[in-house]
A and B are shown apart, each in its own frame.
Chain A
Amino acid sequence: MTRLAFDQVACFRGGRLLFEGLTLALKPGEGMLVTGANGTGKSSLLRMAAGLLAPAAGRVERVGAVALSAEAAALDEDKALFAALRFWAQLDGRDDEAVALALAAVGLAQLAQVPVRLLSTGQRRRATLARVIASGAGLWLLDEPASGLDARALGELSAVMAGHLAAGGVILAASHQPLGIEMRELAL
């Protein structure tokens, strides 16, 4: 059972109050899209949800495994894409098949043996998404998952997200672009 709840959360970064009194609750099958101008604390919100950042006030409650796709791909540049993803999959207790399925879901199956450093911006984004998919975590935190994606990859992203929600997962995404999927919106 995956759940994410913010209770009266405030975020204080670099001497500025980014937001306060933020309350939200996401149950299985629910997604939420965080919108807002640059620097309004979207990424900080996701990092709080991941437990990487302590809220200045309030409480963050999280039940179940979590996967974060942030700006940095966290994939070893010299390794082949498959091997780089496998490192995380093994940490998550997932087998190679989960990695192969995740690569296929984001349309990178044929690039499995290409070193990560040779991937383009959009391919890197999709590889990051593949890491999230392969983790098998119920709660997905996606920071700008659509940046750098072409129309076809955007369609795949929407399909993958819809599939995750349908399977009882929870998604909290921050994006400037529409993600092609119906979700509640939270404007910061």
Chain B
Amino acid sequence: MSGFGHLVRRDLGHAFAHGGAWLPLVFYLLVAALFPFVIGPDAALLARVGGGALWTAALLAALLPVERLVRPDIGSGVIDQLAIRGLSDEGIAAAKLIAHWLSFGPLLMIATLPAAALLNLDGATLTRLEIGLLLGTPGLAALGLAVAALTASLRGAGALIGLVMLPLAVPLLIFGAGSGPGALKLLAATSLLFVAGAPFVAGAALRAGRS
């Protein structure tokens, strides 16, 4: 359906319009750069905690764009106009989910290359981290979108978004930073669950917000 692709393109263009999409990337790199200062120049220790540190940074970076995912579009009447044109609320949410992931997921994966160097991660850890981010960031995007839609009608939702989203992201963090053989599979499963569920949760929230 062309309306779906149109919406993805519009949202993606929107994310990059003010350089807003670069914020999570810069934030992620900054956290990665700060860690060696805090932990100290112990290369072995850095390599051991680096993966977990980058996952935490990725989660916090994914929080940044959440507030302006849904709320501005409700306020400006864009969601209403899309609904009038026959797009389902779930379809709108799915398009937003794809655009949201495209605006930060791939960038974080690229930024992980210099970040891994800052934290003295070896090749195997880096590969595992990249695969983990590829599997996990869609789940983060889905969580962000669902929370954005659920909190869209609330005043001062900014702080609430973090409070709602961070606990729900715990499984992604555990399996993403975990090193067991099954961790990646569990990460993929959790991420898939979030991605499959988020359009329905967000769609229902959009619908409820209209009445």
Contacts and interface: CB of A to CB of B under 8 A. Distances in A.
Give the interface size bracket for B toward A.
Answer: 10 to 19
B154 interface: no
A66 B3 CA distance: 16
Contacts of B84: 50-52, 66-68
A91 B85 contact: yes
Contact of B77 (A70, A87, A90, A91): A70
A70 B85 contact: no
B83 A78 contact: no
B48 interface: no
SS of B interface (majority)? helix
A185 B83 CA distance: 28
A75 B10 CA distance: 12
Interface string B1-18: 011001000100010011
Interface in A26-78: 47, 50-54, 66-68, 70-78
A50 B77 CA distance: 13
Nearest to A116: B76
Chain A interface helix/strand/loop/mixed:
loop
A92 interface: yes
Given A72-B75, A88-B81, A91-B3, A52 B14 contact: no
A52 B210 contact: yes
B80 A87 contact: no
B18 A70 contact: no
Interface core residue of B80, B81, B82, B211 (most chain A CB under 10 Å): B81
A125 to B, nearest CB: 13
Contacts of A67: 84
A78 B19 CA distance: 13
Contact of A73 (B3, B18, B77, B83): B77
A77 B81 CA distance: 15
Nearest to B78: A74
Interface string A110-129: 00000000000000000000
B14 A70 contact: no
Interface of A: 47, 50-54, 66-68, 70-78, 87-88, 90-92
Nearest 4 interchain pairs by C-beta: A72-B77, A74-B77, A74-B81, A74-B78
